[in-house]
């Protein structure tokens, strides 16, 4: 395959490689490229577009690349097909590029490139003036099971990012605040692409916040650290704020004055939920001028059902006159999820599951490890009586 006009499956392969998808997923996409087998054309594509380019750019995670090369070669040899010489040579290169303990451990942080690929089926009519691809490099952790969860990419962050890019009109010229759990900054970087008036990202862990700032710089996003008071000074930058739910001061939260609050995978610990709900309730009760909120239609999913339509319509109406929150979450424990709803109700918050009402485009078709169906999108607003 030569030139940039390559078929979707081949685009998916190189995108999955740079996103460091599981190597089994890469093998599956490679077979798709070759019509069921990893042909010599596919091998040359892997060698040229994935491996050689990575060597030239001085990027890539050696243990990951080495594992992928081994699986490609094993797959081709098992099918009694010919393995091109370049793959053997590249495997030899990576086998000798790490020594000692580094060979086993590699590094604890890697750069993953998440490519949001815009669908080609007349999306120009639905997402105006959007690029064909948004590539987000992120410094991420490989030690998720060792407690470095704040620097990992979670399904809800991917889902919330797809939602933002699918409905840019909801966030354009709005003040957006992503509360504790901004993590690697994926959601904030996607927000920067849809031209909000202001973006504030927060996290309760200082090391995670430092990594967040690094990722914003990697993506050429102008950043600023500070207290909630200093955040009001310059609306042109993405602000980073150290915020702990349990110690959040009401007056500081009210100074933020967001139009939209966002959160990804924040419903996980029953002990934290009262503090989480308190932060959301405080932000959503901030006095707003109705002139800041103009009615913007949300793209409905054709699969939306009538049972949830009334609650969704109430949420859309509320979003035209007051601040609202969008929380994406995987329901890992139904009791914790239900407890969040209970505490939110006690705080006079209306929580609506809008997952089936929103049309979210599949920007990550190559990311086979990402289970979109496991994520729920909640719309939240202050209920007035």
pLDDT of residue 228: 45
CA dihedral in degrees (365, 128, 114, 87; nearest 10)?
A: 60
Q: Does residue 48 sit in the same domain as residue 168?
A: no
Q: Residue 274: CB partners within 8 Å, gap ≥ 6?
A: 343
The tally of domains found in the chain comes to 2
According to DSSP, residue 302 is labeled T
Contact 282, 253 (CB under 8 A): yes
Region of poorest pLDDT, from 70-84, 235-249, 357-371: 235-249
Q: What mean pLDDT is predicted for residues 175-198?
A: 88
CB atoms within 10 A of CB 204: 19
Amino acid 126: pLDDT: 42
Give the phi and the psi of residue 178 in degrees, each rounded to 5: -100, 115
- Which domain-ending residue is among 74, 105, 136? 105
- Per cent of the chain over pLDDT 90 is 58
Model confidence pLDDT, tens digit, residues 201-229: 988 888 888 888 999 999 988 765 554 44
Q: Is 106 exposed, middle or buried (0-12, 13-18, 19+ CB in 10 A)?
A: middle
Residue 247: predicted pLDDT:
82
Instruction: Say yes or no: 212 and 330 in one domain.
Output: yes
Q: Which domain holds residue 84?
A: 8-105
- Pair (91, 131) in one structural domain: no
Query: Residue 180: its pLDDT value, please?
Result: 65
What is the mean pLDDT of the segment spanning 171-175? 94
The structure's pTM equals 0.86
> Is 173 among the domain residues?
yes
Model pLDDT, residue 7: 79
């Amino acid at each position: 395959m030569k030139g940039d006009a390559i078929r979707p499956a081949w685009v998916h392969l190189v995108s999955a490689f740079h996103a460091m998808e599981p190597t089994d997923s890469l093998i599956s996409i490679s077979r798709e490229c070759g019509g069921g087998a990893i042909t010599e054309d596919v091998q040359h594509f892997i060698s040229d577009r994935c491996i050689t380019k990575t060597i030239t750019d001085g990027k890539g995670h050696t243990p990951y690349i080495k594992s992928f090369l081994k699986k490609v070669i094993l797959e081709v040899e098992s099918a009694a097909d010919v393995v091109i010489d370049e793959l053997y040579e590249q495997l030899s290169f990576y086998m000798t590029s790490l020594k000692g303990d580094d060979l086993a451990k590699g590094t604890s942080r890697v750069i993953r490139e998440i490519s949001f690929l815009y669908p080609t089926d007349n999306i120009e009519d639905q997402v105006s003036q959007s690029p064909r691809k948004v590539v987000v490099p992120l410094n991420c952790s490989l030690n998720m099971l060792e407690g470095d969860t704040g620097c990992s990419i979670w399904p809800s962050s991917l889902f919330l990012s797809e939602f933002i890019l699918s409905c840019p009109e909801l966030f354009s010229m709005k003040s957006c605040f992503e509360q504790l759990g901004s993590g690697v900054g994926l959601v904030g970087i996607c927000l920067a692409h849809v031209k909000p008036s202001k973006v504030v990202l927060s996290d309760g862990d200082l090391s995670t916040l430092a990594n967040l700032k690094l990722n914003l710089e990697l993506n050429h996003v102008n950043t600023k650290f500070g207290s909630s008071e200093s955040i009001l000074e310059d609306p042109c930058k993405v602000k980073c704020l150290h915020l702990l739910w349990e110690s959040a001061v009401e007056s500081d939260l009210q100074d933020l004055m967001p139009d939209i609050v966002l959160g990804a995978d924040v419903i996980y610990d029953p002990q934290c939920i009262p503090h989480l709900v308190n932060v959301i309730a405080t932000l959503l009760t901030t006095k707003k001028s109705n002139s800041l909120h103009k009615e913007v239609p949300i793209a409905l999913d054709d699969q939306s059902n009538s049972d949830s339509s009334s609650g969704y319509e109430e949420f859309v109406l509320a979003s035209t006159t007051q601040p609202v929150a969008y929380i994406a979450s995987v329901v890992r424990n139904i009791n914790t999820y239900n407890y969040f709803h209970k505490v939110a109700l006690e705080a006079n918050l209306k929580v609506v599951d809008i997952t089936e009402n929103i049309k979210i485009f599949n920007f990550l078709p190559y990311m086979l490890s990402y289970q979109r169906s496991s994520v729920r999108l909640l719309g939240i607003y202050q209920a007035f009586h």
